[in-house]
Amino acid sequence: MNIAWSISILLMLLAAGLLLYSAQKNSHPRHIQRRFREALHQEGIHISAQLGSLDLEEALQDMLGKVSRSEMEEMQRLLLQAGWPGAKAKCTFLLIAWGLPMVLGILAAIYAILNQDTLINILFHFLFLFAATFVLIRRLLRWKAQNRRDAIRKEVIPFLHLLRMLFEAGLAMEHILLVIEQQGKDLIPNLAEELHQVIKRIQTGQDRSDALVEMAAPLEVMELNDTIAMLKQVTRYGGNIRDSLTEYTVLIEQRQVSELREYVSKLSAKMTVVMILFLFPALMIFLAGPGFIGLAKALKGANGL
């Protein structure tokens, strides 16, 4: 009886949510209601008392709209950084990001219902698993995007060397990008994937500099942005870029060497803590153990006397 009652309550909550969504969907848009109220004010008819709650509803709707827009913009940016561009990837991720938490939450609620838990426990199971899965999916997306950005940052130096060699060979910009995209997949796989999209945009008629900027801007890799800025300048104004590429390559290498030294210094400090926690007790046992054993035997013999 309790199971049937809990299932009916869960179904009623889902039905109420669907009815609320359909009512909100079928309601008049807020901007139409605002224009209607302004027109009535111009005619001298004041309806602030009747529609006093409209401003609060509009403010809440605007706030929710801003939150949803910022979330969608961040999600689209993270998908691009993770290497999943396009509308198909976006729709797939949205389906997973919202559908999977809902499914797991419902399964957790059904599990609680089968165990004959109270309504509070059922709601707790649903909300906890929904929230945990909802947050975990977005954390995984941020982790994937950050890892790919770090990988692209490491691939910038080989990309600069390839650019310099191909410029010295006398190739044009489109030919250089095509050669790097086709021949450099093993050396710079992430950048080769991004260059593939750039080549497709150029072939559809987009300007080379604009295509390169659209590729580099969402990735938010400083070294790549500077490289694209140099290529954009050469594309529009011409000039010798080999010396600039060489100097910038040396600068990036020095920067990465300094970062590697900083990482090693931090790692040595962490290893000191590990040695103190694990190696020092074993060393003390190895060095002072025989002395303590001998002292214990001597004290035992003295007690026996």
DSSP for the chain?
-HHHHHHHHHHHHHHHHHHHHHHHHHSPPHHHHHHHHHHHHHTT---TTTTTHHHHHHHHHHHHHHHHHHHHHHHHHHHHHHT--SHHHHHHHHHHHHHHHHHHHHHHHHHHHHTT--HHHHHHHHHHHHHHHHHHHHHHHHHHHHHHHHHHHHHHHHHHHHHHHHHHTT--HHHHHHHHHHH-TTTSHHHHHHHHHHHHHHHTT--HHHHHHHHHTTTT-HHHHHHHHHHHHHHHH----HHHHHHHHHHHHHHHHHHHHHHHHHHHHHHHHHIIIIIHHHHHHHHHHHHHHHHHHHHHHHHH-
Determine the Cα–Cα distance for residues 186 and 290; give it in Å rounded to an integer: 58
User: Is-contact 34 58, C-beta < 8 A?
Assistant: yes
Q: What is the pLDDT of residue 147?
A: 92
Total Cβ atoms within 10 A of residue 199: 17
The mean pLDDT of 207-224, rounded to a whole number, is 85
User: Is-contact 192 226, C-beta < 8 A?
Assistant: no
The pair of structure tokens assigned to 294 is 């001998």
63 pLDDT above the threshold of 50: no
What average pLDDT does the chain have? 76
Q: What is the pLDDT of residue 27?
A: 44
269 pLDDT above the threshold of 50: yes
The pair of structure tokens assigned to 2 is 């309790």
Residue 297 pLDDT grade (very low, low, confident, very high; cuts 50, 70, 90): confident
For helices 242-274 and 222-237, the axis angle rounded to 10 degrees is 180
Determine the Cα–Cα distance for residues 68 and 66; give it in Å rounded to an integer: 5
22 pLDDT above the threshold of 60: no
User: Is this structure's pTM higher than 0.75?
Assistant: no
User: Is-contact 127 112, C-beta < 8 A?
Assistant: no
Residue 8 pLDDT grade (very low, low, confident, very high; cuts 50, 70, 90): low
Determine the Cα–Cα distance for residues 32 and 52; give it in Å rounded to an integer: 16
Q: What is the pLDDT of residue 265?
A: 83
Residue from 21, 65, 29, 83 nearest 218 by CA: 83
User: Is-contact 220 149, C-beta < 8 A?
Assistant: yes
**Range of weakest confidence among 59-63, 101-105, 145-149, 256-260:** 59-63
The mean pLDDT of 197-207, rounded to a whole number, is 85
The mean pLDDT of 275-289, rounded to a whole number, is 79
Q: What is the pLDDT of residue 17?
A: 56
Q: From residue 161, how far is each of 24, 35, 148, 198, 260 by CA, in Å?
A: 57, 60, 21, 19, 20
Who wins on pLDDT, 254 or 11?
A: 254
Q: What is the pLDDT of residue 34?
A: 58
| pLDDT tens digits, one per residue of 122-160 | 888 888 888 888 889 989 999 999 999 999 988 888 998
Total Cβ atoms within 10 A of residue 105: 21
Q: What is the pLDDT of residue 83?
A: 83
Q: What is the pLDDT of residue 18?
A: 55
Residue from 103, 99, 75, 102 nearest 89 by CA: 75
Residue 67 pLDDT grade (very low, low, confident, very high; cuts 50, 70, 90): very low
Residue 49 pLDDT grade (very low, low, confident, very high; cuts 50, 70, 90): very low
| pLDDT tens digits, one per residue of 69-93 | 677 778 888 888 888 887 888 888 8
Tokens 């609320």 belong to 20
Who wins on pLDDT, 38 or 203?
A: 203
Q: What is the pLDDT of residue 28?
A: 44
